[in-house]
């Protein structure tokens, strides 16, 4: 009589354990995504200042500046998912990098201390965002492993949990997120 009760108790505890673990993993993904959001927000907050500073010295870059402003508004609209946001951030990153590279043509802009600080802060935010993305991918992998392997897959079926895609990491980021080369241009 005792043995079946013990087995039933163990099974119930195991079930609770697996359930909690799957839910915890799902919550980690949500947390990791909000960490990306926080980092992106910090990054996007730099843009108005950057645009203002560049505008004063480099009139010829107006189309790039408009593009950046447009992309920022799109990214901050609040309806974008993780993948779209990452794609927009990548486009913004490329546009800002082109301004940093082109600053060579505008000596006054290059010498401006505000611009120099913005470059440094931008590089930092780039690595922080990359770190947040890596954390998100790690949380997603953990979650996907949890719901695709037994017995998590049974629970996932009941809870209607589906695997999530990881964010693509840019090739340059994967190698070495080091803006030194960019600064030497």
Partner 1 sequence: MNLRPALENLEPVRKKVAKSKIYGFSFLGLGVLLFLLLFFALQLDPLIAIGLAAAPVVTGFIILSIASNAAATYRNTFKREVIATALRTIDPTLQIQPAYGIEEQEFIDAQLFNKIPDRYHTEDLVTGKSDKTPFYFAEVHAEYKTETQTKNGRREHWHTILKGIVFVADFNKHFDGLTLIQPRSLAGSFGAWFSKNIYSFGEQQVVELESPDFSREFIVYSTDQVEARYLLTPAMMARICVLNNRCKETISLSFFNSKMYIAFPLANNCFEAPVFRSLLANDVLRRDLELIGFMFGIITELDLNTRIWTKQ
Interface ranges with partner 1 (CB under 8 A): 21, 32, 35, 39, 120-121, 123-124, 127-128, 130-132, 134-135, 137-138, 142, 174-180, 183
CB of 127 to partner 1, least distance (A): 6
Q: Which is nearer to partner 1, 55 or 174 (CB)?
A: 174
Q: Which is nearer to partner 1, 30 or 73 (CB)?
A: 30
CB of 168 to partner 1, least distance (A): 14
Q: Which is nearer to partner 1, 91 or 138 (CB)?
A: 138
Q: Which residues touch 131 (CB under 8 Å, ≥6 apart)?
A: 39
What's the 3-state SS for the chain?
CHHHHHHHHHHHHHHHHHHHHHHHHHHHHHHHHHHHHHHHHHHHCHHHHHHHHHHHHCHHHHHHHHHHHHHHHHHCCCCCCHHHHHHHHHHHHHHHHHHHHHHHHCHHHHHCHHHHHHHHHHHHHHHHHHHHHHHHHHHHHHHHHHHHCCCHHHHHHHHCCCCCCCCCCCHHHHHCCCCHHHHHC
Tokens representing 15 are: 């079930």
Q: Which is nearer to partner 1, 44 or 122 (CB)?
A: 122
Q: Which residues touch 112 (CB under 8 Å, ≥6 apart)?
A: 53, 57
Q: Which is nearer to partner 1, 80 or 141 (CB)?
A: 141
CB of 5 to partner 1, least distance (A): 24
CB of 60 to partner 1, least distance (A): 26
CB of 134 to partner 1, least distance (A): 5
CB of 138 to partner 1, least distance (A): 5
Q: Which is nearer to partner 1, 19 or 67 (CB)?
A: 19
């Amino acid at each position: 009589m005792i043995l079946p009760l013990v087995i039933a108790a163990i099974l119930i505890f195991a079930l609770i354990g697996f359930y909690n673990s799957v839910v915890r993993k799902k919550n980690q993904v949500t947390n990791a995504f909000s960490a990306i959001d926080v980092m992106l927000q910090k990054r996007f907050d730099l843009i108005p200042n950057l645009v203002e500073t560049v505008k004063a010295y480099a009139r010829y870059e107006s189309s790039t500046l408009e593009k950046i402003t447009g992309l920022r508004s799109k990214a901050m609209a609040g309806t974008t998912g993780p993948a779209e946001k990452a794609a927009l951030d990548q486009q913004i990153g490329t546009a800002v990098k082109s301004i940093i590279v082109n600053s060579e043509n505008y000596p006054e802009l290059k010498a401006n201390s505000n611009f120099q600080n913005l470059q440094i802060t931008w590089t930092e935010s780039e690595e922080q965002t990359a770190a947040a993305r890596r954390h998100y991918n790690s949380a997603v992998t953990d979650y996907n492993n949890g719901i695709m392997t037994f017995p998590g897959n049974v629970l996932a079926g009941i809870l209607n949990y589906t695997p999530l895609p990881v964010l693509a990491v840019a090739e340059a980021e994967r190698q070495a997120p080091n803006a030194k080369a960019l600064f030497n241009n």
